[in-house]
């Protein structure tokens, strides 16, 4: 983020100095002003959705949801705490339903609960980020409203292409994450498990594969959490 931010700001500001230097400061201030407006809106959105989330937690509904999605989520995000799985379940399902506010709130909680001590993002954190950044969209409500306002004869006709293309993007993102994670796993010296066979498309292959290795993997995940190699 540091490099991206610096490059973007430096390049834009240099260009601005040449083209319209008087606008530089007002532009930066209006950027922050926009951020404040958004934050006020977000406070309201979070207040409602976090309350809903609190109710889900208090009634144990998030655990139920998480248990339903557990087989998929556990396979994707290996070796995390139960609490993390609950947050991830809420995050991903809210994302798909287009409830951005609750997805962000749960996502931040999930990230915080996976936070490593050494400041190097783990593969699971990156996977969660990528899945969110390419999230499957079932109902793109704003876009449909805009099209209807623009006089479209069939405003909802973008539903299916959106659904398909976001699914393609999410699957691509997930697979690429697994590929990079497997590549990295051979390098670092940290206490990792003996490299699981480089099957990157676990989602697809797991249906066909017998589940004998999952017990080993779980053991392995437990052991890594304790900081010892099995």
Partner 1 sequence: MSIYILPVIFVVLIIYSLIKRVKIYDCFLDGGKESLSLVVTVFPYIAAVFVAIELFRASGLSEIVSRWLSVPLSYLGIPAELSELVLLVPLSGNGAIALLEKIITEYGADSYVARCAATVTGASETIFYISAVYFSKCKVKNLRYAIPVALFSSLFGMVVACALCRVM
The correct pick among 22, 153, 197, 228 for binding partner 1 (CB under 8 A) is: 153
Residue among 77, 171, 165 at smallest CA distance from 124: 77
The correct pick among 77, 130, 200, 220 for binding partner 1 (CB under 8 A) is: 130
Instruction: Tell me how far CA of residue 97 lies from CA of 53, 70, 114, 138, in angstroms.
Output: 15, 18, 24, 6
Would you count residue 116 as binding partner 1 (CB under 8 A)? yes
Would you count residue 96 as binding partner 1 (CB under 8 A)? no
The correct pick among 65, 96, 121, 221 for binding partner 1 (CB under 8 A) is: 121
Residue among 205, 178, 182 at smallest CA distance from 192: 182
Burial tier of 63 (Cβ tally within 10 Å: 0-12, 13-18, 19+): middle
* Of 38-46, 71-79, 195-203, 210-218: span binding partner 1 (CB under 8 A): 38-46
- Check residue 194 and give left, alpha or beta (phi > 0: left; psi -120 to 50: alpha): beta
> Residue 69 or residue 132: which is nearer to partner 1 going by CB?
132
Residue among 138, 136, 157, 160 at smallest CA distance from 148: 157
The correct pick among 68, 71, 168, 218 for binding partner 1 (CB under 8 A) is: 168
* Of 31-39, 70-78, 190-198, 200-208: span binding partner 1 (CB under 8 A): 31-39
CB of 215 to partner 1, least distance (A): 30
The correct pick among 59, 205, 219, 229 for binding partner 1 (CB under 8 A) is: 59
């Amino acid at each position: 983020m540091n490099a991206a931010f610096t490059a973007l700001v430096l390049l834009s500001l240099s260009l601005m100095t040449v083209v319209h230097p008087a606008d530089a400061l007002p532009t930066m201030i209006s950027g922050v002003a926009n951020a404040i407006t958004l934050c006020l809106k977000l406070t309201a959105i979070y207040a409602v959705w976090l309350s809903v989330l609190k109710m889900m937690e208090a009634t144990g509904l998030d655990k139920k949801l998480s248990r339903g999605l557990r087989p998929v989520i556990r396979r994707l995000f290996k070796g995390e705490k139960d609490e993390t799985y609950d947050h991830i379940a809420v995050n991903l399902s809210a994302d798909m339903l287009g409830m951005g506010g609750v997805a962000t709130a749960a996502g931040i909680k999930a990230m915080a609960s996976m936070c490593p001590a050494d400041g190097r993002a783990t593969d699971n954190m990156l996977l969660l980020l990528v899945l969110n950044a390419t999230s499957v969209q079932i109902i793109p409500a704003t876009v449909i409203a805009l099209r209807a306002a623009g006089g479209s004869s069939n405003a909802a006709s973008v539903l299916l292409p959106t659904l398909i293309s976001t699914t393609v993007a999410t699957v691509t993102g997930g697979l690429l994450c697994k590929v990079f994670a497997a590549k990295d796993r051979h390098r670092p010296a940290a206490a990792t498990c003996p490299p699981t066979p480089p099957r990157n498309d676990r989602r697809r292959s797991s249906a066909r594969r017998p589940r004998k290795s999952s017990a080993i993997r779980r053991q392995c995940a437990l052991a890594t959490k304790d900081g010892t190699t099995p």
